[in-house]
Structure 1
Amino acid sequence: MVVVAPSALYNFADSAEERIPGQRRNRSTQKKEARSVLDVVRGLTSMSAKQLGAVSHLLPPGGMEAVGIAAKLPRSNQGRKRQEALVAKMLRGQLTDPQIEKLQEAVSIATQSRGIFEDGDVSGLVESWREGLLGEDQEVIAEVYGYPVAWAPDHQQLRSLVRQCKEALEEEEQQRQAAEALVASDQASPTGSSSGSDGEGGESGGEGAAEAAAEAAADAAAVAGGPPRRRKGGKAPEPKSRPLVRSLGKLLKPLALRVVAERDAQA
């Protein structure tokens, strides 16, 4: 006998599926769709906690608990099969097609490569917000700060992090411009102008100028967003802004998950 947690119970009266009087339903199509969703549920029960957490925003209330109950039962247990069927019925009744499709993609990724699903709508929204906040886009600022307090990140923390990101990016831009100016200056100066009168000194001076120019160019590229230059005997330095920008994305992600979940539910 399977004991289902109260939060995992599904009220079939809440199903979004409606039967239109006088309209015949294609039973073969319905059975095919039901099997497809059941396959998704079986894939969900095989996921790791981290993989399942990546799709939690796509599941209806009680969905995570219901999947967890099925996952704990032996595969050959009839109770597990009944629980999986219950979860499949829950998903068919409460989720929209876009949500089901995303779950199918997540199961495919987890099965084929053991990877973790990343919702493209969520990551795209985070990137759009991040660029807008750093670029002082007033529409984006109004949108991010306009969501319910229960959804949004702490506004004070968000403002502080945005300010830190902008300061770091401005500092790196100044460094980039200075590095580019140094490269241009070295390239414009005659080779060996600071060396002695002999040819050997001229060659040495030319090599030194070229090396300095190359280092400056590498630094400028790193600051501009390219791969950081690896320094001798140590790890390549990371621009100050990068960890801050990553932190900003992490702070915005929970809000993006909530917004995308609401949009998908209304699709």
Structure 2
Amino acid sequence: MMQEDESADESLEPSRSQLRREALDIFKLAESLAALGEAALARVPLPDDVRIEVERARAVTSHIAHKRQTQYLAKQLRHLDDEEIEPIRRALAHDREKAHVETAGMHRVESWRERLLAEGDEALAEFIGAHPSADRQQLRTLVRNALAERKANKPPHAFRELFRAVRELLG
């Protein structure tokens, strides 16, 4: 009877591997917080003492010192309970998702720009069909100038202007 009680108690405690995974997960959370930009960090709901430690970790530039400070930040995060950690995780996940959507939008703009440069009037007609408010003449001029810049090895001024114009229209 005594052995059953001991084995039941042992099964309730997390394994050493599980504790290590949880500690590593918290350390990765601390690294993510320390890597955030100012605007993104402002959107994360952090207790004041943890926010101060995040700022300290962000301020350290030496690799070893930064890692040590991040480990200390992780230690502070381990003191928080699940109700305090979960909003932090959700905010970081939302920030990553938003960055992914922005990146996908930039790829779409770049793809259209490359098609306009490679396929010429065919791609332009398709783009105008999809975006009737686009100024055909302006886009045609930007495409022509970007191709001339590329051919003459000049700085990509029109190339960038074409990107901005397409981004506005896709926006």
What is the TM-score of this pair, normalised by structure 1?
Answer: 0.30
Higher helix proportion (structure 1 or 2): 2
Query: Of the two, which has the highest radius of gyration?
Result: 1
What is the TM-score of this pair, normalised by structure 2?
Answer: 0.46
Larger relative contact order (CA 8 Å, sep ≥ 6): 1
